[in-house]
Amino acid sequence: MNNIVSDNERFNLEFTDEELDKFKPIEDVMPQNLLNALLTHQADMENQGLMPRKLTRGKQKYPTKQLVTIRLSADVVEKFRAGGKGWQTRINEVLRQYVAQLK
């Protein structure tokens, strides 16, 4: 029997909701001196360009979408959200199709 575990299997773990609920913030489980060393090392790596900084989305150079607030029926929102991530994009696509039919 082969008991060798590939890196892909070892590092691509999927956790259940119950397991994720047991997770605690690193500040609660790591001694302060080790946490400080870790954060200092991370900052050094980022400053040297050896590790990407925390990824945040910047302002769009040429905005392609406009931020608006609209009220939708609860059942409509529920149905789109049930489809998972990207539900707002799917609403946008439905509205685009509708607008295209008006032309």
35, 27 in Cβ contact below 8 A?
yes
Supply the pLDDT for residue 8. 62
> What is this structure's pTM?
0.42
Taking the chain (103 residues) in consecutive chunks of 10 residues, what is each chunk's mean pLDDT?
64 81 92 94 87 72 81 94 91 93 88
Position 73 scores a pLDDT of: 95
CA separation for the pair 96, 101 (Å, rounded): 9
- What pLDDT, on the 0 to 100 scale, is given for residue 10? 66
Please tell me the distance from the alpha carbon of residue 8 to that of residue 27, in angstroms, as a whole number.
28
Distance in angstroms (rounded) separating the CA atoms of residues 94 and 100 = 10
Q: How far apart are the first and last CA of the chain?
A: 65
pLDDT at 9: 65
